[in-house]
Amino acid sequence: MRFLFLLFIIIPIIEITLLINVGQAIGAWYTVGLVLLSAFIGVNMLRYQGLSTLARAQQKINAGEMPAGEMIEGLVLAVGGALLITPGFFTDVIGFCCLIPFTRQLLSKALVSRFTLVAASHRRSPFEGPEVPPGPGNSRPDPRVDGKGDTIDGEYRREDD
- What pLDDT, in 10s, does the model give residues 53-103? 889 999 999 998 888 888 888 889 999 988 988 889 999 999 999 989 899
Domains in the chain: boundaries: 38-122
The arithmetic mean of pLDDT across residues 107-125, rounded, is 70
Task: Decide which of 5 and 29 is more confident.
Answer: 29
Residues 77 and 44: beta-carbon distance below 8 Å: no
How many percent of the chain have pLDDT more than 90? 31
Query: What are the φ and ψ backbone dihedral angles of 113, each rounded to 5 degrees?
Result: -65, -35
What are the pLDDT digits (tens) for 143-157? 555 556 666 677 777
For residue 148, the model assigns a pLDDT of: 64
Query: Sorting pLDDT into bands at 50, 70 and 90, what band is 140?
Result: low
- Give the pLDDT confidence score for residue 65 in this predicted structure: 87
Note the pLDDT of residue 130: 53
Residue-level pLDDT at 133: 54
Which CA distances in Å does 100 have to 14, 53, 73, 86, 95? 23, 12, 11, 18, 9
DSSP codes joined into one string, 42-89? HHHHHHHHHHHHHHHHHHHHHTT---HHHHHHHHHHHHHHHHHHSSSH
Structure-model confidence comparison of residues 103 and 160, the more confident one = 103
Residue 118 has pLDDT above 70, yes or no: no
